[in-house]
Amino acid sequence: MYFYRPTANNNGKKRGDDMALKHIGKQTAALTSPPSFAGHAAVAGTKESEGPLGDSFDFVSDDALFGCDTWEQAESAMVKKTLAIALDKARCAPSEIDYLFAGDLLDQCVGTTFGLRETGIPFFGVYGACSTMAESLALAAMLIDGGFASRTAAVTSSHFCSAERQFRMPLEYGGQRTPTAQWTATASGAAVLADTGEGPYITHVTAGRIVDAGIKDAANMGAAMAPAAYDTLKTHFEDTGRDPDWYDLVVTGDLGAVGSEILEDLFRQDGAALSHHRDCGVMLYDPQQQDVHAGGSGAGCSASVLCGHLLNGMRAGRWRRILFAATGALLSPTTTLQGESIPAICCAVSITV
Amino acid sequence: MYFYRPTANNNGKKRGDDMALKHIGKQTAALTSPPSFAGHAAVAGTKESEGPLGDSFDFVSDDALFGCDTWEQAESAMVKKTLAIALDKARCAPSEIDYLFAGDLLDQCVGTTFGLRETGIPFFGVYGACSTMAESLALAAMLIDGGFASRTAAVTSSHFCSAERQFRMPLEYGGQRTPTAQWTATASGAAVLADTGEGPYITHVTAGRIVDAGIKDAANMGAAMAPAAYDTLKTHFEDTGRDPDWYDLVVTGDLGAVGSEILEDLFRQDGAALSHHRDCGVMLYDPQQQDVHAGGSGAGCSASVLCGHLLNGMRAGRWRRILFAATGALLSPTTTLQGESIPAICCAVSITV
């Protein structure tokens, strides 16, 4: 297992007092002026709208092509739509956004770049596979807290059909799926952050390290990603001195049923209970009624669950403290063909009202 | 042309005094505590070592496979090597790096993720195509200036053979190249930034907007990227109030010969001369002796020229002020097959001694 934990604390003595304020523990930033969610939106396809979170989407397309000619164009149309709704809910024009962070799963992130090419917003493309929304939010929040921006935005997406074509088989092939496989969500989530506002706020960011547990089965991403989630969550709790129970919800990205069980097991082996744990991949679909095997996945899965169900719930007073820990498997079809194992990452963002 | 310029200045009145300090003009950040380059390294293949900048590389592999079995593994080995040399030159252990920004051109950025999976450094994956080094440096510098880190690193790469296989044809096919085509450099550049040090320093960052000039020829990336370079450079000069001549060098990423001519033409039409302009894609190879058509390209092209030739030259007193403006074409083979035009981006980083 590639899982190197340095004994030295990298928050060393060289750092001045100012630094110590924001960089706590090993890899966590405690924001001194936590940015507020000014607007957020979730968009999805029909299947997702028929799941338990169906009511939380701002827009559902009954056409999987979103009115376009190709799956890739459909994903771009979805990204564009989601950002537009989030901006509208934030009462914000594109020209008022200082920086935009975005990414998706497609080769060269073209779902994103083609979807956003008309916005005119200064753009930072990011790639963290299914963890991209947490990574985007982390950087978007830090640029506000660091005084570089007054408003930033983050948007990520995935589309079942563009992902199947690229990562697995053409849809027409009708490939069989194993029980550990997850279903790439046709979904997108977008958020606008601002230096003022009434919350919810992003207060902490714990960046992830790449963890490769040696899993080689590309149809079992949950198992590949669970050790990365464990690494980042454990570090976050150590860095902040918080108990897992401090959060109303510890939400992982898309470990699915298999990965969630492994993650909870890893904490149990430490004598700790991850009792408030939920997983976006498990929440998005109904395991009895919808045939998604181990659950949902995709860069739009955790993004849409956060920007719909979770943030709506925080605004409604249902939860006060959420740790959003999106997970990503950093492989490609080529590396799988070459017999490589699957490196994974998890980025965590602490959100409170 | 997708090229939307909002009339309103997004550096609006809502921003407080603190903000105004760092965000100047439309899309530029002026860093208040400019981070210093603590170490930098460039690694390349044989062909690059035989060009005009051959002496500037810290390591040259005479084996295109870098001792590995596949081109993708070779690229990962190169990334790992480059970062290791940069860390060594900065007298810095991996555990002393707070955040690492990195990316490459391969699908799902696997050159990067597999190359860095053993480092244990908190990781942010970025994708800006051939502009990735400027994007990585921009974010790495802002996280230090914002007080989130005392040391960060950036590394990007490209490999001729892995890129040909993925973007064009298998090498064995021996595909013909058009005169406007560029040669993907087998090269990598890495830099370590620190909150203290004797420079050179990153003082300003101008993030790029996506610009799509309608070019559809994937063998003419220079033409596709030149309008993005023009947009970012013009904005940088406006935002900072600097004349192009203020810089000893205005270095674009990899416009090549064709794109460079277009860029200089665009400035000439404005009545401005980009007299100190150089391009990494033009500098890397000898146009007479090496058959690279319009020049070099790739995420490792501008990265290796910056982290070798340019930063070495600044340390030696040859140049005092460089604007490093890396350019990227945000397409994929799929979007080209679907008849799409090529969106592009340019991110600029101002470096002074």
- 246-305 of A, contacting B, C-beta below 8 A: none
Nearest CA-CA partner of A189 in A149, A158, A225: A158
* B216 vs A: CB within 8 A: no
Q: How far is A253 from chain B (nearest CA, A)?
A: 16
Contact B233, B250 (CB under 8 A): yes
Mutate to test the interface with A, among B117, B132, B139, B165 (most CBs of A within 10 A): B117
pLDDT per residue, tens digit, chain B (353 aa), is 344 444 333 343 344 444 557 999 999 999 999 999 999 999 999 999 999 999 999 999 999 999 999 999 999 999 999 999 999 999 999 999 999 999 999 999 999 999 999 999 999 999 999 999 999 999 999 999 999 999 999 999 999 999 999 998 888 888 889 999 999 999 999 999 999 999 999 999 999 999 999 999 999 999 999 999 999 999 999 999 999 999 999 999 999 999 999 999 999 999 999 989 999 999 999 999 998 999 999 999 999 999 999 999 999 999 999 999 999 999 999 999 999 999 999 999 999 99
- Residue ending a domain, among B172, B194, B216, is B194
Contacts of A117 in chain B (CB under 8 A): 2, 210-212, 330, 343
- How many Cα atoms occupy the beta-carbon half-sphere of A16 within 13 Å? 9
Mutate to test the interface with B, among A144, A210, A342 (most CBs of B within 10 A): A210
Nearest CA-CA partner of A75 in A109, A41, A30: A109
**Which residues on adjacent β-strands are paired with residue B343?**
B212
Among all residues of chain A, which has the CA nearest to that of B129? A108
Contacts of A70 in chain B (CB under 8 A): 338
| pLDDT the model gives residue A198 | 96
In CATH, what number is assigned to the domain containing residue B205?
Answer: 3.40.47.40
Find the CB nearest B118 among A2, A107, A109. Answer: A2
| pLDDT the model gives residue B6 | 42
| pLDDT the model gives residue A20 | 53
**Does residue B256 belong to any structural domain of this protein?**
yes
Query: DSSP states of A44-78 as a string?
Result: EEHHHHTSTTGGG-SEEESSTTTTSSSHHHHHHHH
* B90 vs A: CB within 8 A: no
Domain shared by B190 and B205, yes or no = no
Overall size of chain B counted in residues: 353
Domain shared by A41 and A186, yes or no = yes
* B145 vs A: CB within 8 A: yes
Residue ranges of chain A with per-residue pLDDT less than 50: 1-18
**Does residue B80 belong to any structural domain of this protein?**
yes
**Does residue B4 belong to any structural domain of this protein?**
no
**Does residue B41 belong to any structural domain of this protein?**
yes
User: Are B19 and A139 an interchain contact pair (Cβ–Cβ within 8 Å)?
Assistant: no
* A59 vs B: CB within 8 A: no
Contact A95, B325 (CB under 8 A): no
Domain shared by B170 and B316, yes or no = no
ipTM score of complex? 0.95
User: Are A5 and B345 an interchain contact pair (Cβ–Cβ within 8 Å)?
Assistant: no
- Residue ending a domain, among A131, A161, A194, is A194
- Residue ending a domain, among B157, B178, B194, is B194
| pLDDT the model gives residue B20 | 54
User: Are A212 and B109 an interchain contact pair (Cβ–Cβ within 8 Å)?
Assistant: no
Among all residues of chain A, which has the CA nearest to that of B92? A10
Query: DSSP assignment, residue B109?
Result: G
Contact A248, A276 (CB under 8 A): yes
| pLDDT the model gives residue B174 | 85
**Does residue B20 belong to any structural domain of this protein?**
no
User: Are B5 and A120 an interchain contact pair (Cβ–Cβ within 8 Å)?
Assistant: yes
Tokens of B191: 């830099």
Tokens of A135: 């990574």
Find the CB nearest B210 among A117, A149, A208. Answer: A117
Domain shared by B175 and B262, yes or no = no
pLDDT tens digits for range A14-45? 444 445 579 999 999 999 999 999 999 999 99
Angle formed at CA A150 by CA A144 and CA A152, multiple of 5 degrees: 70
Domain shared by A179 and A233, yes or no = no
Domain shared by A258 and A345, yes or no = yes
Tokens of A117: 């090419």
**Does residue A12 belong to any structural domain of this protein?**
no
How many folded domains does chain A comprise?
Answer: 2
- CA separation for the pair A207, B123 (Å, rounded): 7
**Does residue B14 belong to any structural domain of this protein?**
no
Domain shared by B170 and B282, yes or no = no
Domain shared by A184 and A118, yes or no = yes
Contacts of A2 in chain B (CB under 8 A): 117-118
Domain shared by B50 and B179, yes or no = yes
User: Are A331 and B108 an interchain contact pair (Cβ–Cβ within 8 Å)?
Assistant: yes
Domain shared by A182 and A269, yes or no = no
**Which residues on adjacent β-strands are paired with residue B350?**
B204, B323
**Does residue A15 belong to any structural domain of this protein?**
no
Which range marks the domain in which residue B301 is found?
A: 199-352
Domain shared by B164 and B63, yes or no = yes
Domain shared by A184 and A294, yes or no = no
Contacts of A124 in chain B (CB under 8 A): 126, 128, 135, 138-139, 207
Q: Is B349 helix (H, G, I), strand (E, B) or coil?
A: strand
